[in-house]
Structure 1
Amino acid sequence: MESCIRLSSVVRSTGRALSTAAGRQQRALVAEAGVFTDQEKQTEEKHIRKNFEDVQKERQNQGRHSVLIGCPPKVNENKFLKYLSQHGKVANHFFFSSNSTNAVVEFVDAESIDSLLAATKIPTDEDMCVVPFKSRFIKIKAKDLDQHSVQCCPQSSIAFSDLIEKLCTGESIEDQAQILLEELQLTEESIRLRYLVSTLISDIATAYFPEASVSLYGSSVNSFGKMGCDLDLFLDLESLKGHRTGKQAGGSITTEFWMRRVSSRRAAQQKILSVIGECLDGFGPGCIEVQKILNARCPLVRFSHQAAGLPCDLTADNRIALTSSELLYIYGNIDSRVRALVFALRSWARVHGITSSIPGHWITNFSLTTMILFFLQKRTPPVIPTLDQLKSLAGKKDKCIIEGNDCTFIRDLNKVKPSANTEPLATLLIEFLEFYGKFDFKTHCIDIRKGTEKNKPESSPLYIQNPFEQTLNISKNVNQSQVHRFVDIAQESAFILQDQMSQSSKSKNPWGLASILLSSSTENSSTTKKKKKVEARERIVSLLESLRNKDNSGKTDVKPEAEH
């Protein structure tokens, strides 16, 4: 993994530690360039429990004060910063590589960006005509800058073999889980880049709908995001509804906007996303491979941001998904063991093929995370509260009804009391595997709103109740064979972990968490070949069924909550 200049985290739980050497280099560079950073003002050791909404506002503000700059392969960083500082004070910056070298630069004042863009010219091309759409994605060209290779921040996860090697250096399973979390979670730089991209997309959308905004949801914001996960965005048109009861001068005369009528809210979303999709395809800054998937259950525009190296999905008015992201954020920040356990079990599930990036009959990351939360609610004493308990703590400003669904829960993390449960992470990991290794999936459903098992309302192999849309099963896609596989692998992994608990980091063989991540490759060859054939056959059947369902309905299913 390349070393990099790391920015201190605004949210400690979502950033990696700043290395001492990189920190010294960053301070030297900004001092020489005549710019400053708020790095010294932040303390890594102090964990500030910021509310989800406050974090979003702070991150969005960072994004709006930032520019994305395409750079030459080699850049004199000092001269680069000195040039930019002519337009205003630079708060933070970093370089990253995604097909080419790029930089994210945050200015203190928005006026500095205006100054920089005013000095930026429209490119000329003798053979082709350019589309003169200006954005905060620019490129810099200068011969005297082309001198040194800059340190680029990684935008992808550590190689699996290197991860296993690092895990084996841990002194305990708790240490291993923390190593895995630090290596796989979104870095501070990746988070900043994601918010910058969202504001670039917002600039296009607000050209048509000035009161609208583009928000992030899913893995990028719910505290469980992994390096390389998709960027899920939704066009929030909620503020436009305020104009339905606009201020009137009084009297018997009122005014209203002349607007086109459509048959349904879905039809309106499809029209809006179609227009935005055309704009992204025609002149969106860095947007490629634009697909308008408007007949999906949740209409969306799918595209890739080439410079950022991010696959993106844009939906409209997907407020329940945003609320689900906030709920997961709260659970992820209530207790430090939650995120470590989720990252460990998600990695375990992916290695064993329990989850998959390909749509099909497998358990999704969202479903698996909900299962983990339910297990933590079942501990004695509970590690985390139920959704109903969070609702009981809510005040008037927390009340939230979306499309008739009660989405009320406490938003202030500081009002949630810490758990009295002190079980070590290793115990929770083993207990999770044993809990679901003997769970009665045939009879019971999983409900994090109540935190108790109850009879399934229908005969789905796996029934996980949607915490907000309570008549929906978020795991309806999972078939019986996948449930059996999950139970078998959970039982096997629990046995391996219990056997490994007595081993230390000096063991020659992979131990602890590393052992259950590698166990699938250490089975005897005949069993492994048999399992691979079964898994391959199941994947083919699942894909064929997905294609057949798509042909029959004319719709492409899209997961209700982004998860990666």
Structure 2
Amino acid sequence: MSVIFQTLVNTGKRHLYRKLLNSSRIPCKCLYARKCTDVPKKFLSFDEVVAQRRAEARQSIVVQVNSVASFNELYGYCSKYATVNQIHHYKNSAGEHFMLIEFSSEDNMKEVLKSCGTHHKDLDVMPLKSPFLWFRATVGKKDSFPTPSVSLASIDGGSPVEDEKLLLDMSKCSTVSDQIQLLYDKTSLNDLGTRLRYMVARQIECVFDSLYSNIAVRPFGSSVNGFGKMGCDLDLVLTNVLTDELCSPGRRLVFQDKKVEGGRSPWQRHLESVGELLELRVAGAGRVARILHARVPILKFAHDFTDLDCDLCYNNMSGVYMSEMLWQFGALDPRVRPLTFAVRRWAKSVGLTNPHPGRWITNFSLTLMVLFFLQQKTADGCILPALKDLVKRAEKEDIRIAEENLNCTFLRDLNKLPSDCYSQNNAKLETLLLQFFEFYAQFDFQDKAISINEGVPVRKPNALPLYIVNPLEQALNVSRNVSFEECERLKLEVRNAAWQLEGFDGNKEDDWGLLGLIEHKSTKGLKKLLRVGNSHRLVSVKDLFDNSNEPATDTLKSKLQRLTPKSDKEVNKSVKEMQDMLTNGKDKNRIKFKNSQVENQVHRIQRDKIV
């Protein structure tokens, strides 16, 4: 959703952030002060969002408590040292309770850290300072604190919504568009989830700050690009922030650097030492795995305090710029992210995606497919511009060069983008979802590639089954891992989804609208198996396995009784009847169909079922 700003009078020379508005649907909304002569802005830049989130993390701590009932005492204790803005509560998978406390300023947070007690004397640990703390019980007489002037901003705010409750709420929606929007609202990464991810980055940054100059640890990927869901992994990049001022030739005194010698890449050596520090110095970090021989060497670890699986790499700024690009496309139109969530949830339910790497299509590839579909021009215009349009409009301040001289330059300020370049199509979400499936049901995957750079299909440079151009490294195919069989399944499933949505006549059954697309196959199949008068099947289950002329009001109990295994005596009787039938060369109970092929197939299935 577009972030709209109000113009506020400010006599300073810089734009200042004034207030952060919480939202479960949008990670960050900000109102900030501007000069009275400035033109009002419609969009917030990615860098401004990141700066605001990093500022929040610098003035916040995470405290482990006994339970949610510790709120009054914790608030009263912290209020003695600083002004508390808000407190969020959450639990991890181990059932431990935590509270994220945001203070009014970074100086306030530092005052609280000064009041922290020392570490246990009887434990063999190396003391460290960290924004992750615990609130120990009071000794002696318990302090009395007044009732807090604020309430908890969220209780158990880190828990994802249960599928059963989500599907139930979706079944109560009025339209398919409402279902798509509800799915996005309930499953997208909320404000607390985003805050915790920046807190983990801040914690690692504090530990490494004494070892590296001008260090920064930044989240990227689904945690910040606006397409992340609750519980998604945390991707982190460790990088040096080298400003033009630090690199100025006028500074004649320069720090001596340590050169890494050896046959391996210096970044692999650095990550080895970083892995040791994660195990020894970062509270909550564990199960560190070093993957140093990949194209981008990474460290994988689990953060127990926040229940996050983390990947840490060094100086992978192309990943940050990719996140920025996706965030901008999602910010241009409020329908982009909900539609993407619906498509990815559908792909998961039909088994097109898999949590483990392999020959399957990934969520990143599906996201690019949705963006490419929204770039297609219709009679009313397109919803999203092609990436090449953003590149053409880039200015000097938009130039970004990543590792290996990779050009990541494109327009950063979306307020400079003409309004006729986006959001020209006013179609509803349900219409766009159907058109998405119809578009790829007719797409020429054999000869054409998907490129959001051009916004139109381009010729494939090779014979890979699926070709989706990497937006920043256009020589690469982000779907090169997809096998021929999986590509064929993709084409089959989009046709099935289009057929199912197109056949929806407004009759709200148990799996109406989006529910029929995102329910798991096992649940969906059982419902169809037990549904009376199922119109979705050419031949019903009753026709295949039962010859009795039962009334249409057959009960669920009787259907289940017919599907239960028969006793040995009943099986022997059925076998004898079948043998007699085959001996006589006729079947008095054989069902008659107008199509002889269908009749033969049904008769064969009946015979196999009985024998």
TM-score where L is the length of structure 1: 0.81
Aligned length: 487
Spell out, residue by residue over 1:92-148, the C-alpha distance to the aligned partner (whole angstroms, 9 max, x if none).
21111112010111111222222222221223253x312211211111112548999
Contact 1:237 1:316 in 2 (8 A): no
1:474 aligns with 2:486: no
Structure 1 pair 192–255 and aligned structure 2 pair: CA distance change class (3 A) = closer
Structure 1 pair 290–261 and aligned structure 2 pair: CA distance change class (3 A) = closer
Deviation at 1:407, TM superposition (A): 1.5
Contact 1:391 1:408 in 2 (8 A): yes
Q: Which has the larger radius of gyration?
A: 2
| Letter aligned with residue 237 of structure 2 | F
Structure 1 pair 458–238 and aligned structure 2 pair: CA distance change class (3 A) = farther
Contact 1:157 1:184 in 2 (8 A): yes
- Find the counterpart in structure 2 of residue 277 from structure 1: 275
- Find the counterpart in structure 2 of residue 186 from structure 1: 189
Deviation at 1:16, TM superposition (A): 10
1:105 aligns with 2:94: no
State the secondary structure of the residue aligned to 1:208. Answer: coil
Q: 1:118 aligns with which of 99, 114, 118?
A: 114
Contact 1:153 1:189 in 2 (8 A): no
Question: d(CA) in 2 for partners of 1:429 and 1:408?
Answer: 31
Deviation at 1:424, TM superposition (A): 1.4
Contact 1:300 1:314 in 2 (8 A): yes
Question: d(CA) in 1 for partners of 2:117 and 2:42?
Answer: 42
Spell out, residue by residue over 1:201-248, the C-alpha distance to the aligned partner (whole angstroms, 9 max, x if none).
111222211312001100010000100000110001252897665534
- Find the counterpart in structure 2 of residue 310 from structure 1: 308
Deviation at 1:426, TM superposition (A): 1.1
Contact 2:213 2:240 in 1 (8 A): no
More helix by share: 1
Which has the bigger relative contact order, CA under 8 A and spacing at least 6?
1
Spell out, residue by residue over 1:321-349, the C-alpha distance to the aligned partner (whole angstroms, 9 max, x if none).
11010000001010011011001101111
**1:1-150 alignment, distance < 5 Å:** 9=21, 13-15=25-27, 49-98=43-92, 99=94, 100-124=96-120, 126=122, 128-143=123-138, 144=142
Deviation at 1:420, TM superposition (A): 1.4
Q: 2:202 aligns with which of 189, 199, 220?
A: 199
- Provide structure 1 residue ranges, at least 5 long, that are not aligned to the other structure: 1-6, 18-37, 526-564
Q: Any runs of at least 4 consecutive aligned residues in structure 1 with deviations exceeding 4 A, and if so which?
A: 10-13, 143-151, 240-246
What is the identity percentage for the equivalent residue pairs of Structure 1 and Structure 2? 32
Spell out, residue by residue over 1:22-63, the C-alpha distance to the aligned partner (whole angstroms, 9 max, x if none).
xxxxxxxxxxxxxxxx99x9xxxx996211000000000000
- Find the counterpart in structure 2 of residue 391 from structure 1: 391
- Find the counterpart in structure 2 of residue 341 from structure 1: 339
State the secondary structure of the residue aligned to 2:209. Answer: helix
State the secondary structure of the residue aligned to 1:141. Answer: coil
- Provide structure 2 residue ranges, at least 5 long, that are not aligned to the other structure: 1-18, 34-39, 530-611
| Letter aligned with residue 407 of structure 1 | C
Spell out, residue by residue over 1:489-530, the C-alpha distance to the aligned partner (whole angstroms, 9 max, x if none).
111111111112x215xx2422111111127343478xxxxx
- Find the counterpart in structure 2 of residue 175 from structure 1: 178
Question: d(CA) in 2 for partners of 1:295 and 1:214?
Answer: 22
Question: d(CA) in 2 for partners of 1:513 and 1:255?
Answer: 61
Contact 2:91 2:159 in 1 (8 A): no
Structure 1 pair 470–74 and aligned structure 2 pair: CA distance change class (3 A) = closer
TM-score where L is the length of structure 2: 0.75
Contact 1:73 1:146 in 2 (8 A): no
Contact 1:9 1:15 in 2 (8 A): no
Q: 1:295 aligns with which of 293, 300, 324?
A: 293
Question: d(CA) in 2 for partners of 1:11 and 1:271?
Answer: 41
Deviates more, 1:470-479 or 1:79-88: 79-88
Deviation at 1:435, TM superposition (A): 1.1
Question: d(CA) in 2 for partners of 1:429 and 1:450?
Answer: 22
**1:473-552 alignment, distance < 5 Å:** 473-500=477-504, 502-504=505-507, 507-518=508-519, 520-521=521-522, 522-523=524-525
Deviates more, 1:151-160 or 1:472-481: 151-160
Question: d(CA) in 1 for partners of 2:411 and 2:195?
Answer: 27
Question: d(CA) in 2 for partners of 1:8 and 1:320?
Answer: 28
Q: 2:362 aligns with which of 361, 364, 367?
A: 364
